[in-house]
């Protein structure tokens, strides 16, 4: 593969394992990186090789190729994707529910361990479910963000819930808090931790000791939520993706 030193967008390539399998690798440039590295993106199910500059892209690709065995192993360990289709089981606030399609236009509802999503057509089932998850996440997050914002005496400019590929939440410099809709699938204490985490960024736009002190002020047992995400985050990322 030839590398254009003028390229700024991510470059998609492949590497080959010893048994002939070909694996996707995304090459990106991050000026803040001190050296080339490779990591696994659990959402896109691919490896990402990072170079500190454009001229190091070839080195980053070689670095990934030399670790093809490790990449294949880590990809194989990812939880299977869970599509939002009738019959699938998906957690809501940490409790598994069977997804059920029903013809109609009523709002989705929970009954006897089932999450029933009426839709005029089966093709609209997934979009109705996504809207439901986002609405539920937004309601819970608004409530918890308000509590933590009052604790730290800050005020976010806006809160949004959307598809986030590589993180659970973010805080922009102008005070916009963004969250992944998948947080509603996790237990409530995990969502609470993420709300406290992003609100704390309104005080400190970093992960310094002062930042974590703000998180602890909001949520003294925040480590419980952080540990849960570390242990189960990959499974959460798998929701809504096929494999």
37-49 pLDDT, tens digit each? 999 887 777 899 9
**Predicted pLDDT at 21:** 85
**Predicted pLDDT at 78:** 79
**Predicted pLDDT at 8:** 54
**Predicted pLDDT at 242:** 53
Angle between helices 209-218 and 222-237 (to 10 degrees): 100
**Predicted pLDDT at 41:** 81
**Predicted pLDDT at 174:** 95
**Predicted pLDDT at 6:** 44
Q: Which parts of the chain have pLDDT scores under 70?
A: 1-8, 241-243
Q: How far apart are CA 37 and CA 60, in angstroms?
A: 7
**Predicted pLDDT at 128:** 96
**Predicted pLDDT at 42:** 76
Order across the sheet with 158-162: list the strands.
Answer: 158-162, 176-180, 169-171
Q: How far apart are CA 92 and CA 72, in angstroms?
A: 31
């Amino acid at each position: 593969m030839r590398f254009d030193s003028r390229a700024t967008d991510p470059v998609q390539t492949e590497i080959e394992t010893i048994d002939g399998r070909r694996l996707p690798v995304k090459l990106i440039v991050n000026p803040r990186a001190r050296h080339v590295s490779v990591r696994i993106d659990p959402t896109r199910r691919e490896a990402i090789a990072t170079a500190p500059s454009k001229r190091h892209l070839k080195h980053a690709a070689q670095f990934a190729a030399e670790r093809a065995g490790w990449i294949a192993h880590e990809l194989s360990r990812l939880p299977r994707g869970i599509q939002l289709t009738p019959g699938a089981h998906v957690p809501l606030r940490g409790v598994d529910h069977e997804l059920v399609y029903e013809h109609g236009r009523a709002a989705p509802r929970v009954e006897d361990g089932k999450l029933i999503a009426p839709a005029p057509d089966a093709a609209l089932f997934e979009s109705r479910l996504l809207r439901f998850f986002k609405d539920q996440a937004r309601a819970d997050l608004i409530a918890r963000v308000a509590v933590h914002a009052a604790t730290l005496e800050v005020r976010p400019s806006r809160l949004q819930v959307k598809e986030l590929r590589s993180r659970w939440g973010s805080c922009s410099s102008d005070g916009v808090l963004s969250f992944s809709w998948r947080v509603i699938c996790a237990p409530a204490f995990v969502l609470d931790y993420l709300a406290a985490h992003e609100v704390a960024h309104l005080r400190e736009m970093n992960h310094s000791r002062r930042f974590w002190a703000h998180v602890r002020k909001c949520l003294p047992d925040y480590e419980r939520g952080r540990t849960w995400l570390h242990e189960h985050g990959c499974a959460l990322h798998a929701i809504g993706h096929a494999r």
